[in-house]
Amino acid sequence: MLVGISLDPPRQSRWTVFLRLILAFPLFIVFAGIEIAAFFVVIGAWFCALFAGTVPANMQRFLTKALRFYANLQAYGYLLTSRWPGVVFDAKPDDQVTLDIDHVGLRRSSVFFRMVLGYPAMFVGWLLGVGSYLMLMVMWVWGIAAGREPRSFHQAAALVVRFQIRSFAYMSLLTPTQPFRGFFGDEDVAPETSTVAVAASPSVADSGLSAGAQTFGPVGVPGSSNDGGTTLPTHWVVTKAAKVVMVLVLVVGVPSYFLTFSVNNPLLSRFKTEISRTLITASHNVTETAVSQFVRSAQSCPTSNQRECIAKAASKAYPLLSGQSSLLSSNIFVPHDALGLATRYELALAGLQGDMLAVQTSQTSQEQLNVIDNELPQALSRFDADYLVLEAKLAG
């Protein structure tokens, strides 16, 4: 698969750079619908390729058009192109981004395990995506001020977009080749300049399969004509500065993966779980201490003013239990799979609060002793049991 795009940053209108997200938003809405349709097409293509060893031509054509729309949208969003791409699926002579995709045979084993084989590429693509946020902010500010992006940033952003396009092509069964070739740009050698042939296509060359009977893209390597009358290179020789920026994007992307709240990543989940576990354990200890202190105080009350003494002890314990309930209700760190157990634990704590309030408002000592001797131990037993289950869940 060959991706063509200008490696020289184009002159852009400052106001279109300033409003780039707003201008691109309608296209993202359109692509969301296309992505849903493409998902079902990929499923069908997977079954076909699994049995026939190739994706049917009509499915290949649809997925190529969807990928072409995505490529133009990504390039526009990454400030690589100046002209609003619109909703266009077919190749045109003035395209700002071109795709050459050979319709090739696929190994059935690689088709069957495509999700597993493609995960490393999708993971790296995700790292590049989140890691490029800072780079895009710099490009956005620079573009507003100067009307053109720095060449190194432009080329680095182009490499990010090319890798993402190739990753989606691999996952969509459009190519049999992993997208890591040319990650930091292509070798500084003269590319093939003949028509798109098996030897000129990285996807076919890497696969070792005989194919190339049909090409879904503009013919002409190394590039196709754009609106400026020049060719769009498909063999990318980038500057050393662009490679450095790519490295920085990856360096930023790795911690971003583990710290962002947009995905349920392992480190973030563990961090949230440990916070929740600490809060719940501390709450349980405070609750048990408050109940134990209340029972000791109630047992030491003299018979002359037993009801008032027990009520006073309950009035000291109740705010402590209520405070633990408030603490838990504001805990936003409980993992999703432990919410049910956390709710049970909170209900058990509410039961202890109810018993303590009943002791505090009882009219006779007999009513108070009945709660202390019967209802309170049962509520405390449920509370401890629910805590142990929740703590075990949080401990993994």
CB–CB of 85/27 below 8 Å?
yes
Lowest mean pLDDT among 51-65, 82-96, 193-207, 273-287: 193-207
Mean pLDDT value of segment 107-131: 88
Q: What angle do CA 185, 188, 192 make, to 5 degrees?
A: 95
Alpha helices in 79-150 (DSSP H): 108-112, 114-131, 133-146
- Residues 6 or more apart from 270 whose CB is under 8 A from it? none
Nearest to 57 by CA among 144, 145, 174: 174
State pLDDT tens for residues 175-234. 998 999 889 988 876 544 333 333 333 333 333 333 344 555 544 333 444 544 457 888
CA distance 63 to 174: 8
Percent of the chain clearing pLDDT 70 (strictly above): 83
- Which of residues 143 and 200 earns the better pLDDT score? 143
Query: Tens digits of per-residue pLDDT, 266-319?
Result: 555 666 677 778 888 888 888 889 888 888 888 888 888 888 998 898 888 888
> Stretch 97-117: mean pLDDT, rounded?
89
What are the angstrom distances between the C-alpha of 359 and each of 89, 324, 348, 356? Answer: 74, 19, 17, 5
Predicted TM-score (pTM) of the model is: 0.60
Output the pLDDT for position 331.
Answer: 58
Q: Which residue has the higher pLDDT, 159 or 282?
A: 159
For the chain, the average pLDDT equals 82
The residue extents of the domains of the chain are: 2-259, 266-395
pLDDT confidence tier of residue 265, bands split at 50, 70 and 90: low
pLDDT the model gives residue 60: 93
- The answer to whether 153 touches 141, Cβ cutoff 8 Å, is no
Q: Tokens standing for 169? A: 């092509």
Question: Residue 69's pLDDT band (boundaries 50, 70, 90)?
Answer: very high
- CATH 1.20.120 correct for 266-395: yes
pLDDT of the residue at 157: 94
